[in-house]
């Protein structure tokens, strides 16, 4: 019991608690007695994890350094188009082109942000619109098929029953980024840059380089997610893939990332993505309830974003102070004296 209350107080535990709650609720309210814990349903969860996870990771990492990368959706769809167009002969070359373009675009945005001292939302908004336009121009506004059919099968081939090559890559990237964040100097520098940029700079961190690196990572991993999805779907399209920003932001925020910067872990983000993935396949399994996915996602995001807002923290601390003050006042003899 004590361990549980300790866990509840740790903010890092929040994403996992939400995940547990979602699984529990879906398990309890099960009108059609759908079996959630079959291999097929777990496979569908990991597949949606692979689609959404990498974009959420990219966005979440920029939120950790107190920035916001609006362009992840653009990277996602544009890289998919680039990979399908260039990877006709060799899928590896297409992958390289797509991810390379994403990382390069991300680094360029990071460079502009640090060089011109612009807010990241402004630069990445321009980036998003440009990338969307670019993917329209590249594809001529149509969905383009990928001639290499074998690649789709290979990318979605099951691994250990519940995973696919696509989701293994996604989980692997999360693992690598998580390890780098936890055990390397770079990870500490990223957290310091997000927590207090000036203090980090005084402590000797090259914060500009950290910003560029994180934006390159954000662009690269979002692009990787888009490339893998396009390969998996056997097609790339400039439309439809761009609506990934909403679930990505929701996953990052549910995953314990704070817009205040310096808070959040890749592991938490993975749990945040899993919450949405589980929710999606659970609601799909219940049937006819998939509209509620948007509502629940939006509700969760709204609640957590509102609760994390600085205004709430100030209100709560003022309330606590008032409570403790009123306690000390009633106990102190002076106040008793005053009351007479």
Report the interface residues with another protein, using CB under 8 A. 66-68, 70, 112, 114, 116-123, 125-134, 136-137, 139-141, 197-198, 201-202, 238, 245-246, 249-250, 253, 259-261, 291-299, 301-302, 305-306, 308-312
Q: Which is nearer to another protein, 139 or 156 (CB)?
A: 139
Q: Which is nearer to another protein, 103 or 134 (CB)?
A: 134
Report how far apart, in Å, the C-alpha atoms of 51 and of each of 89, 190, 261 are. 24, 25, 25
Q: Which is nearer to another protein, 291 or 328 (CB)?
A: 291
Question: Least distance (Å) from another protein to the CB of residue 337?
Answer: 36
Question: Least distance (Å) from another protein to the CB of residue 124?
Answer: 10
Question: Least distance (Å) from another protein to the CB of residue 240?
Answer: 12
Q: Which is nearer to another protein, 245 or 274 (CB)?
A: 245
Question: Least distance (Å) from another protein to the CB of residue 44?
Answer: 20
Q: Which is nearer to another protein, 150 or 310 (CB)?
A: 310
Cα distance from N-terminal residue to C-terminal residue, the chain: 45
Q: Which is nearer to another protein, 178 or 282 (CB)?
A: 282
Question: Least distance (Å) from another protein to the CB of residue 246?
Answer: 5
Q: Which is nearer to another protein, 133 or 172 (CB)?
A: 133
Q: Which is nearer to another protein, 168 or 208 (CB)?
A: 208
Question: Least distance (Å) from another protein to the CB of residue 324?
Answer: 23
Three-state SS string over the chain comes to: CHHHHHHHHCHHHHHHHHHHHHHHHHHHCCCCCCCCCCHHHHHHHHHHHHHHHHHHHHHHHHHHCCCCCCCHHHHHHHHHHHHHHHCCCCHHHHHHHHHHHHHHHHHHHHHHHHHHCCCHHHHHHHHHHHHHHHHHHHHCCCCEECCCHHHHHHHHCEECCCEEHHHHHHHHHHHHHHHHHHHCHHHHHHHHHHHCHHHHHHCCCCHHHHHHHHHHHHHHHHHHHHHHHHHHHCEECCCCCHHHHHHHHHHHHHCCCCCCCCCCCHHHHHHHHHHHHHHHHHHHHHCCCCHHHHHHHHHHHHHHHHHCCHHHHHHHHHHHHHHHHHHHHHHCHHHHHHHC
């Amino acid at each position: 019991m004590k361990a549980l209350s300790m866990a509840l107080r740790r903010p890092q535990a929040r994403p996992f608690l939400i995940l547990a709650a979602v699984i529990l609720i879906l398990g309890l309210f099960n009108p059609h007695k759908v079996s959630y814990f079959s291999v097929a349903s777990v496979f569908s969860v990991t597949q949606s994890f692979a689609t959404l996870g990498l974009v959420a990771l990219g966005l979440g990492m920029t939120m950790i350094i107190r920035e916001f990368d609006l362009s992840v959706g653009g990277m996602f769809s544009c890289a998919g188009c680039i990979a399908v167009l260039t990877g006709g002969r060799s899928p590896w070359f297409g992958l390289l082109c797509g991810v390379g373009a994403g990382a390069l675009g991300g680094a360029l945005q990071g460079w502009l942000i640090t060089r011109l001292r612009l807010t990241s939302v402004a630069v990445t908004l321009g980036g998003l619109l440009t990338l969307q336009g670019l993917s329209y121009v590249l594809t001529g506004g149509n969905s383009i098929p990928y001639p290499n059919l074998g690649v789709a099968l290979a990318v979605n081939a099951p691994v250990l029953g519940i995973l696919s090559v696509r989701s293994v890559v996604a989980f692997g990237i999360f693992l690598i980024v998580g390890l780098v964040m936890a055990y390397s100097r770079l990870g500490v520098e990223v957290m310091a840059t997000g927590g207090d940029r000036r203090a980090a700079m005084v402590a000797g961190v090259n914060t500009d380089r950290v910003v560029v690196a994180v934006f390159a990572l954000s662009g690269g991993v979002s692009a990787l997610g888009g490339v893998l999805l396009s390969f998996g779907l056997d097609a790339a399209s400039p439309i439809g893939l761009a609506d990934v920003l909403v679930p990505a932001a929701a996953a990052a925020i549910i995953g314990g990332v704070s817009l205040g910067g310096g808070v959040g872990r890749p592991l938490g983000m993975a749990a945040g993505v899993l919450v949405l993935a589980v929710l999606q396949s659970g609601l799909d399994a219940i049937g006819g309830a998939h509209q509620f996915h948007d509502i629940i996602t939006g509700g969760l995001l709204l609640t957590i974003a509102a609760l994390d807002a600085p205004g709430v923290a100030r209100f709560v601390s003022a309330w606590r102070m008032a409570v403790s003050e009123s306690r000390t006042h009633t106990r102190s003899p002076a106040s008793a004296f005053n009351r007479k």
